[in-house]
Chains A and B, each alone.
Chain A
Amino acid sequence: MDNQKQNSSLVDNRFPWKHFVGYLLSVVLTLMALWITFSSGFSLSIIFAIIIVLAILQAVLQLLMFMHITERNSKIQTGTMLYAAFIAITIVAGSIWVMSAGHAAH
């Protein structure tokens, strides 16, 4: 109960600028990716390069704005980040490897 009392006194009533800006920038980055893919007229490989960069930018942005990545006081945080990186690399690199090897490529 004491815990909960402390928590409620910590409630922040200021406008959540960080989340608001983060959300707006995310929408802008997504719209940019859409525009580049549909209407820019670049060649396919350039489109790929640009939207991958935009995707990475957006991931970093969300980690900064929403995901408390700058709070560096706990070991669990570091562990989670490392595990997330491991899973992300497994999914992306693993899928590319599996889908482009052997008969699967044809």
Chain B
Amino acid sequence: MKWDQFFITDEPLIVGAGISILLTGLGIIFVLTYLKKWKWLWNEWLTTVDHKKIGIMYILFAILMLFRGGVDALMMRTQLAVPNAHFLDAQHYNEIFTTHGTIMILFMAMPFLIGLINVVIPLQIGARDVAYPYLNAVSFWTFFFGACLFNISFVIGGSPSAGWTSYMPLAGNELSPGPGQNYYLLGLQISGIGTLLTGINFLVTILKMRAKGMTLLRMPMFTWSTLITCVIIIFAFPILTVALALMTFDRLFGSHFFTLASGGMDMLWANLFWLWGHPEVYIVILPAFGMFSEIISTFSRKTLFGYKAMVYSMLVIAGLSFVVWVHHFFTMGSGAAVNSFFSITTMAIGIPTGVKIFNWLFTMYKGKISVTTPMLWSLGFIVNFVIGGVTGVMLAMGAADYQYHNTYFLISHFHYVLIAGTVFGCFAGLHFWYPKMVGYKLNERIGKWCFWIFTIGFNICFFPMYILGLDGMPRRIYTYNASDGWTELNIVATIGAFMMGIGFILLVYNVYYSFRYAKREQTGDAWDGRTLEWSTTSAIPPHYNFAKIPEVTGLDGFWRSKQEKETENVEYKPIHMPSYSGRPFVMSAFLFISGFGLVFEWWAIAILGAIGTLICMVLRSFDYDDGYYVNVEEIQKTESVYKEV
């Protein structure tokens, strides 16, 4: 391979992006060196096994990816604003919608939610860390390096361009030559390890490490939704792992699982992809449902309405999520029996989801509602998500789907559920738990401006797409003619998209503004909360979370203990905590090297990386570090500082 094929040099936009990445990287290196922060970075962050820090790194990475995925989206909207535009060519447009989809689902929505889960869940169940802290670090770093591998594709070697669904035969060697599609396969494979490990880790954490008295039916709703999400992750992600491995074999080693030649079944890829893909969309929506439940309950100052109905409907959603996958390819034409079956199961999902919507409304009914920023995002979610849900039921009808399929109607539908559901959920959760992460709230005034501009922009961007879809505008086209009659609505949609961009800038500005000016929280209870994460003695919990593990006597445990209001002198005992380790970082870096070698079929590099990974695993097997004890004096010292204020 020649150097000018290795580094993409023929596309000014990409060269510009490459140069700005290089400059930013150099800038970061300079600042770290100048401030002598390298050691701090390694000791405090890169080697950490503290769930709160890992969670914050997940969220930072997610916001970075939201920026990249968002820039991709704005470039697409710019190209489509007017007919016959020449901003992007066909190939570049294909690359951008591929990376936009993949990044937004796997590298933005997933880490944002997993980050919030990391920060909140151990605190919410009264635990000092997750069940497997070392594994948690492995989760983050494999995820991080997998995502980085995917992200460098656009400057080194070229981006994948077969869509985030990567249907065969389009994604095969004949139609997608070069390293692009390999980046997709290896990047997702490596980051998928991290997601699967997170699923296992939090399942065990929630089942085994709850505070005394917290029975399953006393768990906060966010914990319940995370538990169910973990179950779905554990059962769904192996399907993706296998499907990716099979396609990797097809592309790198000449096997014929999904090829047209030699008896391969191309549509089997679509089948396997959606067997994972549909549960995946529930993986990204259920934690958001859990967060909305917490927020709506907190700011209505009422216990969640229909707690058990909420739990059961999530269990039903988890079960049904595995039997609806064919609705993504009704038009493959599996016949009336198959399509009817999957139409009915799909519509059935609307029932438990509807139950949840009504429960949120009834939670607010006669509540003392305070409209804070997290609550605003939750209210916005209910309205907009219902629009997405109703159009989802329209798409669920197999026969009607032949009309909607592959048009902007579908695009609008899934953005209405994913943005109004997952993204609103992430923003709501970020505002809600922000004081728990950094010790102060995000500014409410900027937060509300951000909400209104983003939400109005979102509707201006995506509502016209329903009509464009009904007017027959297909998805994934890079341009159209004026005679198609789609121009006006496309201009409107583009305006909306840029409003969402402004909303995002406001969010980032809010982070800076609040860092400078926000009032620092004096207690751990920033919002008059109901669940255990607000019961910590300090705004940012100490690294061991709880000096004394709280006891729970019912639902909304912390709310109950606040009503009783008793101060007792606690007797501290030494706390056992896990040691930090740099090995997860190093091991994942080796996986990255191995993946990079496979992408370019440079076998020596691939094998070298694999050997490095293996050595790290062997070293871990002979690692007898059982952690350390935080002694009583240190606990007393830490706790007394907060007692005084």
Q: Which chain A residues have a beta carbon within 8 Å of chain B's beta carbons?
A: 1, 4-5, 8, 76, 83-84, 86-87, 90-91, 94-95, 97-99, 101-104
Contact B271 A98 (CB under 8 A): yes
Contact B268 A76 (CB under 8 A): no
Chain B 275-292 residues near chain A, CB threshold 8 A: 275
B376 within 8 A of A: no
A90 to B626 Cα, complex, angstroms? 42
Contact B334 A101 (CB under 8 A): yes
Contact B275 A91 (CB under 8 A): yes
- How many residues of B are in contact with the other chain, CB < 8 A? 27
Question: Across the interface, which residues of A come within 8 angstroms of B235, CB to CB?
Answer: 83-84, 87
Contact B575 A91 (CB under 8 A): no
Contact A4 B335 (CB under 8 A): no
Contact B323 A98 (CB under 8 A): no
Question: Across the interface, which residues of B come within 8 angstroms of A4, CB to CB?
Answer: 576
B322 within 8 A of A: yes
Most chain B CB neighbours (cut-off 10 Å) among A4, A87, A95, A103: A87
- Complex: chain A residue closest to B265, CB-CB: A99
Q: Given contacts A102-B338, A103-B333, A103-B335, are A90 and B268 in contact (CB under 8 A)? A: no
Contact A8 B333 (CB under 8 A): no
A95 to B322 Cα, complex, angstroms? 12
Q: What is the number of contacts between chain A and chain B, taking CB atoms within 8 Å? A: 55
Contact B323 A104 (CB under 8 A): no
B606 within 8 A of A: no
A49 to B629 Cα, complex, angstroms? 56
- A102 contacts which of B319, B334, B575 (Cβ < 8 Å)? B334
Contact B574 A1 (CB under 8 A): yes
List 14 additional A-B contacts (Cβ < 8 Å) besides A5-B576, A98-B271, A98-B334. Answer: A8-B626, A91-B239, A91-B275, A91-B322, A94-B323, A94-B325, A95-B272, A95-B275, A97-B338, A98-B326, A99-B267, A99-B271, A99-B334, A104-B334
Contact A1 B267 (CB under 8 A): no
Contact B333 A76 (CB under 8 A): no
B207 within 8 A of A: yes
A94 to B279 Cα, complex, angstroms? 15
Contact B268 A99 (CB under 8 A): yes
A24 to B293 Cα, complex, angstroms? 48
B23 within 8 A of A: no
A94 to B335 Cα, complex, angstroms? 14
Question: Across the interface, which residues of A come within 8 angstroms of B335, CB to CB?
Answer: 101-104
Interface of B is mostly: helix
Question: Across the interface, which residues of B come within 8 angstroms of A95, CB to CB?
Answer: 268, 271-272, 275
- Complex: chain A residue closest to B627, CB-CB: A4
- B576 contacts which of A1, A83, A94 (Cβ < 8 Å)? A1
- Complex: chain B residue closest to A106, CB-CB: B333
Question: Across the interface, which residues of B come within 8 angstroms of A102, CB to CB?
Answer: 333-336, 338
- Complex: chain B residue closest to A88, CB-CB: B235
Question: Across the interface, which residues of B come within 8 angstroms of A76, CB to CB?
Answer: 207
B361 within 8 A of A: no
A69 to B334 Cα, complex, angstroms? 38
Interface of A is mostly: helix
CB distance from A2 to the nearest CB of B (A): 9
Contact B337 A101 (CB under 8 A): yes
CB distance from A94 to the nearest CB of B (A): 7
Question: Across the interface, which residues of A come within 8 angstroms of B239, CB to CB?
Answer: 91
A86 to B235 Cα, complex, angstroms? 11
* Complex A-B: 23 CB contacts under 8 Å: A1-B573, A1-B576, A5-B576, A76-B207, A87-B322, A90-B323, A91-B239, A91-B275, A91-B322, A94-B325, A95-B268, A95-B271, A95-B275, A98-B326, A99-B268, A101-B334, A101-B335, A101-B338, A102-B333, A102-B338, A103-B334, A103-B335, A104-B334
Contact A90 B322 (CB under 8 A): yes
Chain B 172-231 residues near chain A, CB threshold 8 A: 207, 231
A8 to B136 Cα, complex, angstroms? 20
Question: Across the interface, which residues of B come within 8 angstroms of A99, CB to CB?
Answer: 265, 267-268, 271, 334
- Complex: chain B residue closest to A84, CB-CB: B235
CB distance from A85 to the nearest CB of B (A): 11
A86 to B333 Cα, complex, angstroms? 25
Q: Mark B414-425, 1 if CB is under 8 A from A, else 0.
A: 000000000000
Contact B231 A83 (CB under 8 A): yes
Chain B 121-149 residues near chain A, CB threshold 8 A: none
CB distance from B2 to the nearest CB of A (A): 37
- Complex: chain B residue closest to A1, CB-CB: B576
- A98 contacts which of B319, B338, B576 (Cβ < 8 Å)? B338
CB distance from B471 to the nearest CB of A (A): 28
A99 to B333 Cα, complex, angstroms? 10
Most chain B CB neighbours (cut-off 10 Å) among A5, A91, A98, A103: A98
The 5 lowest CB-CB distance pairs between A and B, nearest first, are: A102-B335, A103-B333, A102-B334, A101-B334, A101-B335
Question: Across the interface, which residues of B come within 8 angstroms of A94, CB to CB?
Answer: 275, 323, 325
Q: Mark B570-604, 1 if CB is under 8 A from A, else 0.
A: 00011110000000000000000000000000000
A87 to B236 Cα, complex, angstroms? 9
Question: Across the interface, which residues of A come within 8 angstroms of B152, CB to CB?
Answer: none
